Amino acid sequence: MLVYELPGTFETREAHLDLLWEAGATGLEERAGVIRAYFDEETAVPAAVADGEWKREADQDWQAEFKANLRPVQAGRVTIVPPWLRQDVPAGQVGLVIEPGMAFGTGHHATTRMAVEALAALDLGGVRVLDVGTGSGVLAIAAALLGADLAYGVDIDPITIPIARENAEINGVPAGRVRFEEGTLGEELPDDVAPGGVFGVVVANLYAELHDLLAGEYAAHLTPGGPLVLTGILTSKLALVRAALDREGFTGVQVREDGEWALVTATA
């Protein structure tokens, strides 16, 4: 990797940044009073930026570094790990293996972790679970591993579906206990997934505005008394979600917070 290091900051040398781009820089970065311009090859630079120094640095494999830094995530009685840390699941914990990739949901985000914890606190034995915005499939797979009869995950992003299916396979969840389809709520669900489209539990890690829009659908897909688990909610937007749940007749609203993120549970 070839770097041209120039004393100064983006602010003090604002007028010179364009000169670096024009000279062929492929990226600019500021670190501790030094501007670092990345180049593919050493090149002549204009006089105004000629006070810098060329340096060759070892290439960094960002992906390898990211993978090496991943740690198991504990969420209640579930421990979420990438495939190469399977052996690190403590005895007595339910191991949930997620291959980090293109779909959201490795367990490292507070919202995913809180949602898995909330699912782990429920008795899912024999229950059908609907996971809206399934991403990597993490919540549906957690539900299946925690005893759900069937976990059905939907996502509007088609790239997530094969990823979620692969994660289910890695966890050895039989095809009949977990299912993923491209889609969202408001569309008719296949009849064999849940009679009348009604589930025992609905979980959704989306965002507050979408929960507001979908609250009526959550109510329509939940059996009376069934728990609703919502996250992806910024604490600053909790009022919007509370109002939507009130409007749709949900009761027993409870809130958990982790930093700027909140998880809301309620009963249909």
Judged by the rule CB under 6 A, the positions of this chain that interact with ligand SAM are: 104-105, 111-112, 115, 132-135, 138-139, 154-157, 160, 184, 205-206, 210, 232
To ligand SAM, the closest distance from the beta carbon of 138 in angstroms equals: 5
Q: For strands 78-81 and 73-75, give the pairing.
A: antiparallel
Nearest CA to 136 out of 171, 161, 173 is that of 161
**Using CA atoms, how far apart are residues 46 and 34, in angstroms rounded to an integer?**
18
To ligand SAM, the closest distance from the beta carbon of 238 in angstroms equals: 17
Closer to ligand SAM by CB, 36 or 177: give it.
Answer: 177
**Using CA atoms, how far apart are residues 56 and 133, in angstroms rounded to an integer?**
44
Buried b or exposed e, range 116-153, using 16+ CB within 10 angstroms: bbbbbebebeebbbbbbbbbbbbbbbbbbbbebbbbbb
Neighbours of 234 (CB within 10 A): 15
Closer to ligand SAM by CB, 218 or 250: give it.
Answer: 218
**Using CA atoms, how far apart are residues 172 and 176, in angstroms rounded to an integer?**
11
CB 268 within 8 A of CB 222: yes
Closer to ligand SAM by CB, 49 or 164: give it.
Answer: 164
To ligand SAM, the closest distance from the beta carbon of 151 in angstroms equals: 11
Closer to ligand SAM by CB, 37 or 222: give it.
Answer: 222
Closer to ligand SAM by CB, 115 or 173: give it.
Answer: 115
To ligand SAM, the closest distance from the beta carbon of 215 in angstroms equals: 13
Closer to ligand SAM by CB, 99 or 157: give it.
Answer: 157
Contacts of residue 140, Cβ cutoff 8 Å, sequence gap at least 6: 129, 131, 134, 151, 152, 153, 164, 168, 178, 180
